[in-house]
Amino acid sequence: MFENFYRELGKHIKKLRVEKGLTQNDLSELADIHPKFVGKIERAVGKPSLDTMLKLSNALNIKIQQLFDFDY
């Protein structure tokens, strides 16, 4: 039902990660989540919880709202 949303969210998180010069492993360490889950989120295979989204925004040093700043 929300496949397109998660696909765009994953692309956006990857874009933000790359802009910060981080690898998936770097982001996973900073966010304290499993490295494979970062990849799953970026590929829209994994669906992050709010807790995970907060961890990602903190790791990327951005406001959580910025994670959702993409066209859907």
| Residue-wise pLDDT tens digits, 62-72 | 999 999 999 87
Task: Give the pTM.
Answer: 0.93
- In angstroms, the CA 10 to CA 34 distance is 16
1.10.3720.10, 1.10.260.40, 3.40.190.10, 2.60.120.10: CATH of 3-59:
1.10.260.40
**Tens of pLDDT along 36-63?**
999 999 999 999 999 999 999 999 999 9
Each domain of the chain, given as residue ranges in start order, spans 3-59
Mean pLDDT (whole number) for 16-44: 98
Q: Write 59-64 long-range contacts (CB < 8 A, 24+).
A: 59/27, 59/30, 59/31, 60/16, 60/17, 60/20, 60/22, 60/27, 60/30, 61/20, 62/16
